[in-house]
């Protein structure tokens, strides 16, 4: 377990593991859903995975929404790459930026989970669909995350060729 923790970057800790742990802990306190596990290894992977999902939701939904309503404005990607080469601190600042986005995402997802719980209570038949709804949402998130990451890789290659 120590070897795994040693290999986690600060990005992984602050954008996946910490938000996943907080999400599960808060959801356990304020909803009827519980993903807490007594097995530390399973718990660590569960927290990391939930944090990854929370982070991806922020990247795919929260960030574009905030850009669309003009709350955020990003620089040109080529300028970002060049600036990072000149000033390595920009990447650290960007990592912090992503952490804030992930915490915003976590809070919105907690509200949505509580809202879903209320809907599920009112419409009991939805409970039978929980696994399918969850798998569908996860499939959507990871399909679009894969597409977004592929676009970043392609942009990076284009800017460096």
Does residue 10 surpass a pLDDT of 80? no
Judged by DSSP in three states, 98 sits in helix
Q: What is the pTM of this model?
A: 0.88
| Tens-digit pLDDT profile for residues 22-51 | 999 999 999 999 999 999 999 999 999 999
For residue 82, what are its two tokens?
């060049």
| pLDDT value for 159 | 80
Does residue 107 surpass a pLDDT of 80? yes
Q: Among all chains, which residue has been given the structure tokens 């990072």?
A: 84
| pLDDT value for 7 | 65
| pLDDT value for 17 | 92
- What is the mean pLDDT of the segment spanning 58-72? 96
C-beta atoms surrounding 93 within 10 Å: 11
Question: Which residues does 114 contact at the CB level (< 8 Å), separation at least 6?
Answer: 30, 31
| pLDDT value for 1 | 58
pLDDT band with cut points at 50, 70 and 90 for residue 138: very high
Phi, psi (5° rounding) for residue 87?
-135, 95
CB 16 within 8 A of CB 55: yes
């Amino acid at each position: 377990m120590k070897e795994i923790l040693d290999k986690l970057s600060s990005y992984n800790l602050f954008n996946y593991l910490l938000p996943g742990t907080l999400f599960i802990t808060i959801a356990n306190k304020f909803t009827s859903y519980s993903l807490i596990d007594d097995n530390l290894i399973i718990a660590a992977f569960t927290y990391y995975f939930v944090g990854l999902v929370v982070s991806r939701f922020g990247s795919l939904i929260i960030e574009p929404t905030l850009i669309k309503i003009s709350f955020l404005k990003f620089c040109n990607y080529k300028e970002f790459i060049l600036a990072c080469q000149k000033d390595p601190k920009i990447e650290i600042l960007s990592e912090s930026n992503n952490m804030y986005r992930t915490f915003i995402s976590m809070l919105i997802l907690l509200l949505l989970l509580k809202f879903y719980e209320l809907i599920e209570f009112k419409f009991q038949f939805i409970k039978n669909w929980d696994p399918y709804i969850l798998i569908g949402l996860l499939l959507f998130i990871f399909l679009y995350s894969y597409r977004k990451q592929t676009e970043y890789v392609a942009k990076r290659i284009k800017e460096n060729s």
